[in-house]
Amino acid sequence: MANLISRSRKFNHFFLSKKVCFLTHLNQRNSKTSSYTSAAAGGIIKPAATFSGEFPAIFRLERYQSNKTGEAQFDTIYYEEDGHHQINNENQVMDFPGGKVPITTQMKFIAESSEKRLPCYRVLDDDGYPIPGAIFEEASKELAVKMYSSMVTLQTMDTIFYEAQRQGRLSFYLTTAGEEAINIASAAALTLDDFVLPQYREVGVILWRGYPLQQVANQLFGNKFDFGKGRQMPCHHGSNELNYLTISSPIATQIPQAAGIAYSLKMDGKEACAITYFGDGSTSEGDFHAALNFAAVLDAPVVFICRNNGWAISTPINQQFRSDGIASKGQSYGIRSIRVDGNDALATYSAIRAAREMAIKEQKPILVEAMTYRVAHHSTSDDSTKYRPVEEIEHWKTAKSPISRFRKYLQINGWWSDENESELRGDIRKQVLQAIQAAEKVEKPSLTDLFTDVYDKMPSNLQEQVKFVKDAVKRSPKEYPSDVPI
């Protein structure tokens, strides 16, 4: 047995003709060996990788073996050449530890990104009409009206609480302006058995699940009826009863937690999944990438919902990544993904409902990129007009409003009127104002609550700290808020 490597700058006409090439394939009978044969060499020839064309050299690896094994059947495979010599390695693979990988003779690097961007799933046009041929989940009149009413509630509530912060009655606030459809439509596609791990712009999700407006106000004012006992920033809601995990301020920490919760649901055989929300800025955190990899490898039933609103506070998306948005990252981790118009309530509802069903039935993660625009400032600590044009904001606020589009859809179906609109907005405004007035009158949690709910029995070092704080307040009562009981 011997190996011969031959190198030539001319086409070897034994293997090539000008327009048509042929390879003679030997199917060995009574043998495990499969190779190409050359009658001229009097033995078995196995061509290796070749580089051809007008200027690269041609490489051919010839392997000479004995030809004593049984009968041989020869098949001739023809294919067009087009000026480049190619070897048909379609059935040749290398068996690596991670699986079988097909062999190619061409040195080709994967492009940075596809020439075409991933499409965005949409159902309703800007005038509220279903796009011909659109495939979507039908929403009954009752469900559609409830979704729209909840979107209006969210918008009205945001406006009033934002104004309350500007009046100095709240320390901080975040709105969902421009992203109401993602909140409500996604929430409508879930069940209460599903665990929600939000960021901080998903108050609409917990409202849909039954969280009262009064409790929203209690949390914002941090009074004694706040489930978190005033120990969290405003807008950091949570409810054990509603399977809505309390929001954490650090960016992206909830994403790997969602993968873990989903895996727990899988182990327990639950007919439920985990859902986590995050912004495009969170995808620049390592937690995002770790979470997707864990979820994919463990086949965890989790739905990752990214609100791609164009801005991570003042950082635009073109300064965050060079990839085609977020959905394109899913395939890299082996996760089924979709890009959806987040300003289209019906498309978002349909996509999340389908994603949830796949996650549970097939026990696998799903990534959803909801394309939208953050109409408001990032928070009350931000002035977005410093880094983006006012005209751009107004365009998205009016022409691209998800609330306006869905209202048009309801009106086209005869499910909504101007009278309904006026009555709803007036009623919601009244409820929010009453909630604020009631929350302001409630006293703050006890100072001792700063040290509780960590240990079943408070250790001695914390007991000493409690005594220290109480003594400090007694010594200088004017230095501490009078509405905080000791």
Q: Which residues are known catalytic residues?
A: 163, 249, 378-379
d(CA 161, CA 201): 14
Give the helix/strand (H/E) hosting 405. helix 402-412
The residue type at 152? V
The two tokens of residue 447 are 């100072």
The two tokens of residue 215 are 């409790």
d(CA 162, CA 168): 10
The two tokens of residue 4 are 């011969």
Note whether 236 and 201 are within 8 A (CB). Answer: no
d(CA 179, CA 206): 15
Backbone angles phi, psi at 186, to 5 degrees: -70, -40
β-strands 274-279, 302-308 pairing: parallel
CA-based nearest residue to 131, from 346, 309, 337, 342: 346
Note whether 432 and 156 are within 8 A (CB). Answer: yes
C-alpha pair distances (Å), 161 with each of 8, 232, 438: 78, 17, 14
d(CA 245, CA 383): 29
Cα separation of the two ends of the chain: 92
Note whether 301 and 364 are within 8 A (CB). Answer: yes
d(CA 45, CA 148): 71
- DSSP assignment of 172-236 equals -----TT-HHHHHHHHHTS-TTSEEE--SS-HHHHHHTT--HHHHHHHHHT-TTSTTTT-S-TT-
The two tokens of residue 124 are 């309703």
Task: Provide the phi-psi class of 49: left if phi over 0, else alpha when psi is between -120 and 50, else beta.
Answer: beta
